[in-house]
Amino acid sequence: MNETLKTIAERYSCRDFSDAPLSDSQVKALVEAALAAPSARNLQPWHVIVVNDKKLIDDLDAEAMSLLVAEENKASYEFVMAYGGKVFFNAPFMIIVASDGSKWAANDCGILSQNVALAAHSLGLGNVHCGMARVLFSGPRGDELKKKLKFPDGYNFGLAILIGTANSGKEPHELDMSKVSYI
């Protein structure tokens, strides 16, 4: 199996990170992988926000937990509690993909985030896409947090990827061939 297919096959969603920071070369590689993503008509409807400040991530985590606790539907809160009570799973590094909301932005931001996830795995780093970060920007402090995180005007939360050294591994999910139709 070639290295790209091996990386795709072995990648899993890590929800158990150590505090170890990423090296400058790892951060550079991840940012370059993000920016190498293709987009419709090369419009690049994203802005990549690199959060390499563990204290800030922990502060954002506490804010997100307070918002999840307040939700009427407790499913997200219960999910987080099952993994140790941290929305960001103790990750020391996060990439937030802000979206301009244009026609193909969701698709293009998804491609970018998968580039980052596969690059992280290829570097030996655990990672997980974190849609739950969305709660931060839809809460009462959403505009304040967007400003603090330097979202460009008119951009909204698209995706987040949490990255770090995994404390433990896990097997990737099994392939479900019932999800495929051959024509």
Residue boundaries of the structural domains of the chain = 14-167
Domain 14-167 fold: NADH Oxidase (3.40.109)
Q: Which helix (H) or strand (E) holds 43?
A: none
Q: Is the pLDDT of residue 168 over 90?
A: no
Helix axes 105-122, 3-10, angle to 10 degrees: 100
* Confidence class for position 9, pLDDT limits 50, 70, 90: very high
Torsion of CA 5, 17, 132, 171, to 10 degrees: 40
Q: Name residue 80's amino acid.
A: V
Provide the residue count of the chain.
Answer: 183
How do residues 22-47 score in pLDDT, each as one tens digit? 999 999 999 999 999 999 999 999 99
pLDDT score recorded for residue 28:
98
Number of neighbouring beta carbons within 10 Å of residue 128: 23
Residue 169: pLDDT over 90: no
